[in-house]
């Protein structure tokens, strides 16, 4: 006696296909998230050779030097051609210099790796301290969210709120 042919329209077959699709989608999402979060996939290491201002540094990576702009934060200007030195600019520059000058750093990249000026965009780590977040916590940088680089936006916003409420750095007397 011939075996009956199973229909792909049966509830069991549909459930099996749906489960396979869901598992494949979940694996793709988790795989992308994991790859994005690993140091080897998104990080570079180098030595800070110059501090330009409160949110820009030069880092020697191997045999080249990269101009690096901190992601997610903005500090008052110290070299702007039209605005000159803004209030708090020198202080932010000095705090940044104290945090990174001559130190080995890990540059954690996000979705967009360079800005329109060709600068490498990064979250800058000295050991286990993220300099971007530390500048905000100390009150010398404000949050500046520029999608798609938003990985630490909620952390930065919480640190800024705390710095404002505590009157630290640029928020002193505000």
Catalytic residue ranges: 69, 77, 119
Closest to 103 (Cα-Cα) out of 129, 122, 79:
129
Longest dimension (CA), the chain: 91
Measure the CA angle with vertex 104, ends 68 and 99; round to 5°.
75
d(CA 68, CA 30): 29
């Amino acid at each position: 006696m011939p075996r009956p042919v199973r229909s792909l329209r049966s509830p069991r077959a549909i459930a099996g296909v749906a489960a396979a699709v869901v598992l494949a989608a979940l694996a793709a999402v988790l795989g992308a998230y994991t790859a994005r979060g690993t140091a080897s996939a998104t990080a570079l290491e180098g030595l800070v050779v110059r501090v330009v201002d409160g949110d820009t540094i030069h880092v020697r990576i191997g045999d080249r030097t990269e101009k690096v702009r901190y992601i997610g934060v903005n500090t008052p200007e110290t070299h702007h051609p039209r605005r000159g030195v803004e209030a708090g600019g020198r202080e932010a520059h000095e705090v940044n210099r104290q945090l990174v000058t001559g130190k080995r750093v890990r540059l954690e990249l996000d979705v967009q790796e360079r800005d329109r000026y060709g600068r490498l965009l990064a979250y800058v780590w000295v050991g286990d301290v993220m300099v971007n977040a530390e500048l905000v916590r100390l009150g010398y940088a404000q949050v500046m969210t520029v999608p798609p680089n938003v990985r630490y936006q909620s952390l930065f916003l919480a640190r800024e709120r705390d710095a404002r409420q505590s009157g630290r750095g640029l928020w002193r007397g505000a």
